[in-house]
Each structure stands twice: as structure tokens, then as C-alpha cells.
Amino acid sequence: MRRREVLLGGAAALAVLPGTARGTAEPSHRLVAAERRTRIIDAPSTVWSYGDTLFPIVRARVGEPFRAVLENRLAEHSSIHWHGVRVPNAMDGVPYLTQPPVEPGQRFTYEFTPSDTGTTFFHPHCDTVQQLGRGLVGVLIVEGDAVDRYDADIVAVLKDWRVAEDGAWLPFLTDEGAGKAGTFGTVRTINGARTPRLEVPAYGLIRLRVLNVDPTRVSEVGLTGAGAAVIATDGNPLGPLPLESWRLGPAMRLDLAVAAPGPGEEAVLVDYFAPEPVELARLVGVGAGARRPFEPKALAPSGVPKPDLAEAQRQRFTFSASAAPSDLVLPGGEVLRYADELCLSGRTRWAINQATWPMASHERLPPPLATFERGRSYVMELVNVTPHQHPVHIHGHTWHVLRSSKREIVPHLADTVLLAPRERLEVAFVADNPGDWMLHCHVIEHQETGMMGIVRVA
């Protein structure tokens, strides 16, 4: 066995333990957040992960209760946010806002019944720049959408690492990066490996789930050497649409139906974002198999409610640099730092509607940027007045992406949308999930330096 395979045999399924809580029969997934030694490069690194493999895959079924226990064996507090899942507010995993932080040695049980199918992921929501940077991410697949019978279901998790040549971590947050496009990793990986070869049944119909969990990098995903069609965005059904390439900002996902290459042949997952295309992974056909026509079917329709666009109220959210000072110096010289209690770095650089995620203790969360009336439809106008890209994410809801001031949009569903520099994007939704929800940029350095706020549904 090669070294990397000891821990990083690619994303692997998690053990399912019989449920004990409340004496019910449904299984509990056990997610143990802990430091583990592994190799991203030849030298060892200490990653933080939810299991013995990086990026464990947890499966749930739509409409059936799901339960996962987070056990925190890290030296700092944590929580799990179920990104892209319309969970009840108390299960949303945002420390101080929806639950107390899970302290070292503590456990927290997440229980909800997913109402939507699809490819989602989970991650902490505190000191995210470090916790996610070190590897604390898992994949949640909510099953029940497949109409076709796929010969294989492959997960490709895109994540870079801020790793030095000796395996130690480089700073996850830098002044330069936080104020611009973010700090990029030094090593790019898929499922924790550099340009892995993923075996697929030759000529089979493959479901390929691509997740960009990187805190910073935007990728433009394409596939050469095989037929491919987009079947979902952020886990929500779309198409099938022939794939040319699809831009995935941090936190965005893309499901593809792929006609696998023949025996011994390869298809290459490529990132076209950089001037020179980058090979991300190779899909290698194995086994016999006979060539067949590629006619992928649409996934089962989504249950995300349709907004009433005629009645919808419009609200503008402007994403900008912040005019606020970093720290507040009190007379006498005492320095009040921004939001230490809220897991942020000591500086603010970014704002939403002029409000930067403020200096506050956890008793003093900022007021909501907006209050949405429960059950009503809204169009959010997301306006980027900066020269940088911002993948904007809303918790607890799924947007219908309608139109852009800059590009043709195929209407689709998303929980994260990539705002290009100076772009105005319109997204609509029904505010049907009561609670206080985060709205933030998913370039984690932007989030942690102010580009975050609360929206209330009441």
C-alpha cells in the first residue's frame, strides 16, 4: 500500500452506528473532529478531519430522519454547518447564533429530515479559515433523486492546501489575501490526492459529483475525453445540459452525468480558470463493458418552493470593501478587537450593505441586515461593487438564480452564487424557514474579515 492510501485512499464511506438516542432505529453517523497525521505531499502534515479519512461521505435519504453526532476532540471549539441543506434553524451549526459552540471534549447531535436531494457538504462555522484550511470538511449526499441507474457514483472534492515543503502549514489568513482574492493553497488536490486516477466502469453511465470546498479558489470545471452533461447545481436538479465548462466558486457543487471512457481509456477533469488548463483528476475506464448511447435523464424534480415573482418584494444587498476601522482604540489606549468571540480575525475589510460583521461579544450579535416575512417571496439583488469575485451563500434557503447584469444565466437553483467583479445578480426565494440565517461570502478570509451578516425570517 502506498503511504497516502493509508489515510487518504480518497473519500471513503463512514461507519454507521446503530442509533441509541431516543431508542429509535435510524442510524447515527459519528463524526469525530480530531487532529490526524497524514501526507498531502511527501512530508507529513497534521490535518483536522471528521474521520480516519479526509472528506468522509455521509449518505442520507430525502424525507427520512438523519442523525449525526459531532464529537469534538480538537483543542478548540467547533460545530457542524450543513451547507446547502434546508435544516431547521437550531440544526444550522452556527456557534452563538443557532447553538452554543461545541467545546473540546463535548458532543452535539444534529438531527433533521432533509427535504431536498443532492450533493451537499458540511464544515465548521468558527475559526473556519483554520478548521477548513486544515481539512475539516465532509460530504453529505441526500439520495432519492436518481432516475437513471448509474454504474458508479464518484465524488471529486476540490481542495487546496496551504502546506510548506516540510509539511507544516503556512498562514491560512494573510493580510494580502484577505484584502484581495484570498490566500491560495500551494498544493491542489482532488479527494486529498494530486491528480488522482479514479477508476470507472468502462462505457458505464457515471454520476460525477464535483464539490469545490476550497476556501479561496474558483475553478472552471470541464471534462475532456468523455461525454458529460450537467444534471445538478449545488445538488439541485438542472438539465441535462451538455457540459462545456462550469464555473465553481468556493462552496459550489456540480453534478455531471458522464459517459465513461472505454477500457484503458481516460477522461480528464480539467480546470480552465487559469490561463493554462490544470488537470484535476483522470477517470480511467476499467472492465469490459459495451459502448452505448449517452442519453442521461433528468434527476427527479426539486421540492424547493417556487417564488411568486409577480408579488416578490425586492431587496438590495451590496457587497463592498469596508470603510470601518479595524479595531477600536478607546481613550486610554485600550484596543477593542473585532469579534474575537465570533471566531473572526482581528480585522475587517469587507461589508454587506455598509455593515461589517461587527465587533461584538456573543451576547451582542449584530442586528439583521434584513427581515423577511415568513412565507413571502423575495428577489435579492446581489451587487458586487468590488474588483474581486465573491461566492455569496445563504443559509437555510435555496435561491432561484434569475439573471445577471453581465452574463447569460441558465435559470437554476443554488445556495451559493459567484458574483463577478461589478456584477449585479438577481436571485429569488420563498422565505419559508424561520430563524436567523447567515448570509456571507464563502471566500473564508472575506467572511472572517467582515463580509457576513444575518438575515431574519419571521
Q: How far is the CB of 263 from ligand C2O (least distance, A)?
A: 39
Is 412 a residue that touches ligand C2O (CB under 6 A)?
no
- 8-state DSSP, 173: S
What is the total count of residues that contact ligand C2O (CB under 6 A)? 10
User: Does residue 96 contact residue 87 with C-beta atoms inside 8 Å?
Assistant: no
Q: Which three cell numbers stand for residue 23?
A: 431508542
For residues 407 and 231, give the distance between their C-alpha atoms in angstroms, rounded to a whole number: 21
Q: Name the CA radius of gyration of the chain, rounded.
A: 21
Looking at residue 215, its amino acid is P
Between CA 197 and CA 205, with CA 201 as vertex, the angle to 5 degrees is 110
Q: Which of residues 74-113 bind ligand C2O (CB under 6 A)?
A: 81, 83
Stretch of 35-43, 217-225, 347-355, 438-446 lying at the interface with ligand C2O (CB under 6 A): 438-446
C-beta of 8 vs 218, nearer to Cu ion? 218
In this structure, are strands 399-404 and 452-457 parallel, antiparallel, or unpaired?
A: unpaired
User: Does residue 453 contact residue 368 with C-beta atoms inside 8 Å?
Assistant: yes
C-beta of 32 vs 438, nearer to ligand C2O? 438
Q: Which does 77 bind (CB under 5 to 8 A by kind): Cu ion, ligand C2O, none?
A: none
Q: How far is the CB of 7 from ligand C2O (least distance, A)?
A: 24
C-beta of 96 vs 203, nearer to ligand C2O? 96
Find the residue with minimal CB distance to ligand C2O.
Answer: 83
CA distances from 209 to 236, 252, 269 (A): 12, 11, 12
Q: How far is the CB of 251 from ligand C2O (least distance, A)?
A: 5
C-beta of 243 vs 252, nearer to ligand C2O? 252
Between CA 193 and CA 224, with CA 145 as vertex, the angle to 5 degrees is 40
Q: How far is the CB of 227 from Cu ion (least distance, A)?
A: 32
For residues 340 and 337, give the distance between their C-alpha atoms in angstroms, rounded to a whole number: 7
User: Does residue 231 contact residue 238 with C-beta atoms inside 8 Å?
Assistant: yes
Single residue of 395, 397, 400, 412 touching ligand C2O by CB under 6 A: 395
Q: Which does 443 bind (CB under 5 to 8 A by kind): ligand C2O, Cu ion, none?
A: Cu ion
Is 438 a residue that touches ligand C2O (CB under 6 A)?
yes
Query: DSSP E strands: which ranges in 99-248?
Result: 107-112, 118-123, 138-143, 152-161, 187-190, 197-201, 205-212, 219-224, 228-233, 236-242, 246-248
- 8-state DSSP, 78: B
Is 137 a residue that touches ligand C2O (CB under 6 A)?
no
The binding site for Cu ion (CB under 5 A) comprises 83, 390, 395, 441, 443, 446
C-beta of 203 vs 357, nearer to Cu ion? 357
Site string for ligand C2O, 244-283 (x = CB under 6 A): -------x--------------------------------
For residues 126 and 160, give the distance between their C-alpha atoms in angstroms, rounded to a whole number: 19
User: Does residue 265 contact residue 285 with C-beta atoms inside 8 Å?
Assistant: yes
Residue ranges that bind ligand C2O, judged by CB under 6 A = 81, 83, 123, 125, 251, 393, 395, 438, 440, 442
